[in-house]
Every structure is written in structure tokens, then in C-alpha cells.
Amino acid sequence: MAEIALRGVRKSYGKTEVVHGVDLDIAAGELVVILGPSGCGKSTLLRMVAGLETITAGQISIGGVVVNRLEPRQRGCAMVFQNYALYPHMTVAENIGYSLKIAGLSRAERRERVGKVAASLGLTEFLERKPGQLSGGQRQRVAMGRAMIREPRVFLYDEPLSNLDARLRVAMRVEIRKLHQRLATTTLFVTHDQVEAMTLADRIVVMNKGVVEQVGTPQDVYNRPESTYVAGFIGAPGLNLLHGIADSDRGVVTLRDGQRLSYDRGRWPEVGHGPVIAGFRAEVVKLAPAGLAGRFDFAEELGAAQLIHATIAGETVVAHVSGATRLNGGEPVSFVVDPAEVQLFDASTGRRLAGENGSAVASAPGARAMVPA
């Protein structure tokens, strides 16, 4: 195991800067997921740690050693790629053990170590097959085995599950988490899938346009997003976001159509008067009379529940409700939200407002969450 430290890491292609001064500390044995959309710089950052991309500025250290000028093979990292990158003419055993062959280990020692790795990944019966005779999930496990057999100090995963179908992705997430619990090797995992990030990570690094938006545990980034970008990106669906004007004396946000959304003044004691963005999760929205009036748009069926999409004050609000609700397009609908669940963001920067006091607390039974205009 080895800790990883990034200090002011930048990457430019010509005059175009794609990674803008990233600072990050990863503890030995930690599994950290770098999450973000395509083009945000997450894979570039991973490749710089691996040594496959040179850094433009800054410093990367692994295990306390600065590796800026070290070749990839000298860094103690093993990388699993999105496209598996297996040798099609070699058997599974030969693919897994190839790095040991290059290192000059004897055939007997290679066979023993390949057997142990294959057994841990459920590949023993496939050792004599070629990659073309395997399923996508089996090929991904071979790629993982090829990385494991090197006994690296650091595992690097570059969107390894993107090419798998939904069922296999779930199964491989379980395999990767079990593997990390067993080996406790420091791991960096890159993905654009927030479900993968939430289920795998000890901590998540949320990136946007080459900048780190937030670093925290899955619960941190879900319950306390530091920006509207993180709020909208994390969760399925993301946080509902409504623009309005805060009135700190009354503890309400007046929306664009004049309706008022209450927030907990005890939680946000330093919020003043002025433009804000109010956010709340779909799970805390209730269908109830005397709440915020809106127009029903459509419903997503989830089996035992629905995602109700509606328009309020010209913006979309999604409610996660149990059971089946029968509504027609354009029909009036009314939503209620516990004021303690409302989060506030700066309207100009999108950053979470300062002065939040503690975590959300349940409001008193029967409290009115919305104040009609």
C-alpha cells in the first residue's frame, strides 16, 4: 500500500488547460473514486498518476516519493483499462502471467501465482481459453487479474465497467469492492457513473471542467453538496433547484412566481436577504394540498414507486412517491417539503451558502412546509 499526494497538478495541451491545479491526498489503502462527465479531466488525472501523461505543472508523489520523472513501470501502479487491452492470441493464463514472464520468473512460479489469482477471481476453469471465448465480465476479470498479479502498491481503474451491460456492472462492482476489502490496496477509480461512485468509494472526488468541485464520503456529497453542480450531478434524480429571493426574517424563499418555500432559519442563521437557489431531494417531496402549486408533466414508473415531474415557478421539480399516482399532463399538483430539508446556494456562484448551522432536524409534527403566496 502507498499513499498518493497531488499538489497543484496541471495539464495543458498547447494553450488549452484541461486540469487546473488539483490538490488531493489519498490515504494508504483507501478506495477513492474520481467522478465527473466526459471531458472533465478525470481520466487525464489518472493517466498522470500512472505516468502515461506528463504533467504540465505541480507534483505527484506515491508512497512519499515524487514520481514526476519516473517511468510508469517504476511507480508501482497497475492499471485496468476500459477496453480490457488483452492479447487476443494468448490464453487467459498467459495474459494474466505475462508481466511475470517479462520479469523472468520461472514457469513453475508463474503457474502457481496465476492459479492463485485466477481462483480469487473465479477464472480457474477459463485459464486455457482465449479472450474471444469469454464474456465481457470474464474479460474484465482477466484484466483485473493481470493487474493483481503484479502485487502493485496502487490500483488504477479507468472506467472499467463502461462496456458491460447493467447486470454485469452490478456484479463487477461487488467483485471490485470485495477485492479491495481483501487486498486493501490503495485504489483510484475513474467513472462518469454516480451509482458506481456511491457504491464503491470510501471518498468521492467530483470533477467539473478540470477543477475539483468537492471531495468527501458518499454521504457527504449526497447530503451536503458544496455546489449546485454537485447537487445536480449526485443522486438519481439530482437535487431539485429553484431560484428565488431569501427573506431571512420570515425564513422563506420567494420563488419567481411569488410562491414561498420555507427553510429552517435555525439551520441557516447567517443567510441574509437576496437571491438564492433553494435545493431539496426528490425523496423529501410530498404530494399534499396547500403546498407549492405546480403543473404535472409526466411520471417515471419505478415499480413500487414513481418519479413525479412537475413544473413550479417555471422550473422542474421531481418528487419520489410510493405507489401509483394517476395524474394527467397539465393537471394541477401541489407539493410540500419539510423546511429542515431545504438547502441554500449562492445564486451567482452556485456555491453552498456559508453559515449553515449543523445538520437538518425534523420539523414539528403538522408543521407547514410551504407558505402559499
pLDDT over 80 (residue 27): yes
Domains and CATH numbers, the chain: 4-228 (3.40.50.300), 240-371 (2.40.50.140)
The beta strands (E) that lie in 186-239 are given as 186-191, 203-208, 211-216
Residues 6+ apart with CB under 8 A from 204: 32, 33, 35, 197, 198, 214, 215, 216, 217, 218, 221
Q: What is the sign, positive or negative, of the torsion defined by CA atoms of 229, 235, 237, 240? A: negative
**pLDDT reported for residue 357:** 61
Q: What is the sign, positive or negative, of the torsion defined by CA atoms of 19, 195, 220, 226? A: positive
Of 38-42, 69-73, 226-230, 367-371, minimum mean pLDDT range: 367-371
Q: Are 257 and 293 in contact (CB under 8 A)?
A: no
Residue 289's Cβ-count burial label (10 Å; 0-12, 13-18, 19+) is exposed
Beta bridge partners of 322: 305
Most confident segment among 42-56, 105-119, 126-140, 149-163:
42-56
C-alpha to C-alpha distance for 234 and 225, rounded to whole angstroms: 8
Can you read off the three cell numbers belonging to residue 303?
Answer: 415499480
C-alpha to C-alpha distance for 239 and 242, rounded to whole angstroms: 10
**pLDDT reported for residue 121:** 83
Q: What is the sign, positive or negative, of the torsion defined by CA atoms of 33, 36, 38, 39? A: negative
- Give the model confidence (pLDDT) of 62-93 as tens digits: 999 999 999 998 999 998 888 888 999 999 99
Q: For the chain, what is the total number of helices (H) and then of strands (E)?
A: 8, 20
pLDDT over 90 (residue 45): yes
Share of the chain above pLDDT 70, in %: 95
C-alpha to C-alpha distance for 158 and 71, rounded to whole angstroms: 19
- Tally of CB atoms within 10 A around 122: 12
Can you read off the three cell numbers belonging to residue 179?
Answer: 477485492
> Going by DSSP bridges, is the β-strand pair 274-280/315-322 parallel, antiparallel, or unpaired?
unpaired
Beta bridge partners of 154: 77, 186
pLDDT over 50 (residue 371): no
Task: Please report how the helices 136-148 and 107-120 are oriented relative to each other, as an axis angle in degrees rounded to 10.
Answer: 130
Average model confidence (pLDDT) across the chain: 89
C-alpha to C-alpha distance for 47 and 113, rounded to whole angstroms: 27
Can you read off the three cell numbers belonging to residue 207?
Answer: 470533477
238 against 358, higher pLDDT = 238
**pLDDT reported for residue 183:** 83
Residues 6+ apart with CB under 8 A from 219: none
Look at residue 258 and give its three-state secondary structure. coil
Can you read off the three cell numbers belonging to residue 277?
Answer: 437557489
pLDDT over 50 (residue 362): no
